[in-house]
Amino acid sequence: MGIEERDRDGNIAALKAVAEQFAVSVTPHLQALIDPADPADPIARQFLPDAAELETHPHELSDPIGDAPHSPLPGIVHRYPDRVLLKLVNVCPVYCRFCFRREMVGPGSKGLSAGQLDAAIDYIRANPGIWEVILTGGDPLIVSPRRMADVVARLNTIPHLGIIRIHSRVPVVDPARITPGLVAALKGGKPVWLLLHANHAAEFAAPEARAAIARLVDAGIPVLGQSVLLKGVNDSPEALTALFRAMVVNRVKPHYLHHGDLARGTSHFRVSLDEGQRLVAGLRGRVSGLAQPTYILDLPGGHGKVPVGPVYAQAEDDGSWRIVDPWGCTHRYEDPAAG
């Protein structure tokens, strides 16, 4: 799909300017899901370039979650004591228009060389406090089954590692990549968990995507969901309900709902924290607990993820608690264990 085909407003020059700054790619699978007659199509909004990306603000950052200060060597981000990111590649099958790593990924971006991968794995091996490795990028499931099997096998030789986690969009954006060979490459050693990034129920509409997820789950690989709260995509109770129910139906447990990061050129996707809290509160009691993710903010500067969901319990001066139920009614609760 060329820039001319993506242009909705006759502003080809602006879209080409976007493509010069930020990577653009849409898989044939996603192209088939887009309704060209719908100007608010949620798939198009996530993946097709928009002239609004040329608008930047002083608060926007090239490294919005602070990877760089916590990267002791190429491919490693060590922000938390017990886990590290291992960034295998810097390319993806598609490029989200709101990506927090949009300054670092895209065609021509170099993945880890053989020597850099050796050094990254040596770093993990030399730090016994590391219990979890998170394969990310880019999208790690873009690599060949052979390369994935090699990386997983090498990680499996590190005694202090407990699990391997993979962050990916591939099952819903390029499901043909989830082959039996790739699934087999993930199995046979330490437990592998997959965090699937999806933001709208339409991403689960295609039978190919549902089958790709089923191949992973049926192979014993637990799949969790992570989403980004995006204006014009899922910023309504109905859209979030449909998204999280679609995940649960496909045996994907909603895990994180991310507040949007302050990446350059993404203000048109931004929802306020106050509105995000109202939306999340609106799910409580109305949607199954299985479909409730944790609403989180990844603090700028590399200070980590923190839950920012609504508060339902507040201590009162008299020692009691004020509790808000799922329907917004307030109740007084005396805590007998408080003495």
271 and 240: one domain? yes
Residue 199 lies in a domain: yes
Whether the per-residue pLDDT at 210 is higher than 60: the answer is yes
Measure the CA–CA gap between 128 and 337, rounded to whole angstroms.
Answer: 39
259 and 326: one domain? no
Percent of the chain with pLDDT over 90: 86
Whether the per-residue pLDDT at 169 is higher than 80: the answer is yes
166 and 278: one domain? yes
Residue 44 lies in a domain: no
Residue-level pLDDT at 9:
55
246 and 338: one domain? no
Q: Categorize the per-residue pLDDT at 1 as very low, low, confident or very high, splitting at 50, 70 and 90.
A: very low
Residue 4 lies in a domain: no
Residue 37 lies in a domain: no
96 and 223: one domain? yes
User: Model's pTM, two decimal places?
Assistant: 0.93
Two tokens, residue 295: 């609403």
239 and 337: one domain? no
Residue 166 lies in a domain: yes
For residue 247, what is the domain's CATH number? Answer: 3.20.20.70
- What average pLDDT is seen over the chain? 94
Query: Quick one: the chain helix, strand, coil %, rounded to 5?
Result: 35, 20, 45
Helix (H) / strand (E) element for 287: namely none
The radius of gyration computed from the CA coordinates of the chain, to the nearest angstrom, equals: 21
277 CB neighbour count, 10 Å cutoff: 16
Range of the domain at 119: 58-308
Residue-level pLDDT at 103:
85
3-class state of residue 254 by DSSP: strand
Q: Categorize the per-residue pLDDT at 197 as very low, low, confident or very high, splitting at 50, 70 and 90.
A: very high
316 and 250: one domain? no
169 and 271: one domain? yes
Measure the CA–CA gap between 59 and 260, rounded to whole angstroms.
Answer: 13
Measure the CA–CA gap between 183 and 218, rounded to whole angstroms.
Answer: 10
Contacts of 285 (CB under 8 A, 6+ apart): 325, 326, 327
What is the pLDDT averaged over residues 63-67? 90
Number of compact structural domains in the chain: 2
Q: Categorize the per-residue pLDDT at 5 as very low, low, confident or very high, splitting at 50, 70 and 90.
A: very low
Contacts of 292 (CB under 8 A, 6+ apart): 244, 254, 283, 284
Residue-level pLDDT at 339:
67
Residue 328 lies in a domain: yes
- Select from 99, 93, 239 the least CA-distant residue to 177: 93
- Select from 25, 146, 151 the least CA-distant residue to 91: 25
Residue 323 lies in a domain: yes
Residue-level pLDDT at 10:
52
Residue-level pLDDT at 13:
85
- Sequence letter at residue 48: L
161 and 84: one domain? yes
What is the pLDDT averaged over residues 50-76? 92
Whether the per-residue pLDDT at 11 is higher than 80: the answer is no
248 and 326: one domain? no
| Of the candidate ranges 105-114, 153-162, 259-268, 300-309, the one whose mean pLDDT is the lowest | 105-114
Known catalytic residues are 79-80, 83, 92, 96, 99, 101, 261, 298, 305
290 and 318: one domain? no
Residue-level pLDDT at 2:
46
pLDDT in tens, 72-117: 999 999 999 999 999 999 999 999 999 999 988 888 777 899 999 9
Residue 252 lies in a domain: yes
Please give the order of strands across the beta sheet that includes 330-333.
313-315, 321-324, 330-333
110 and 254: one domain? yes
The larger pLDDT score, comparing residue 7 to residue 67, is at: 67
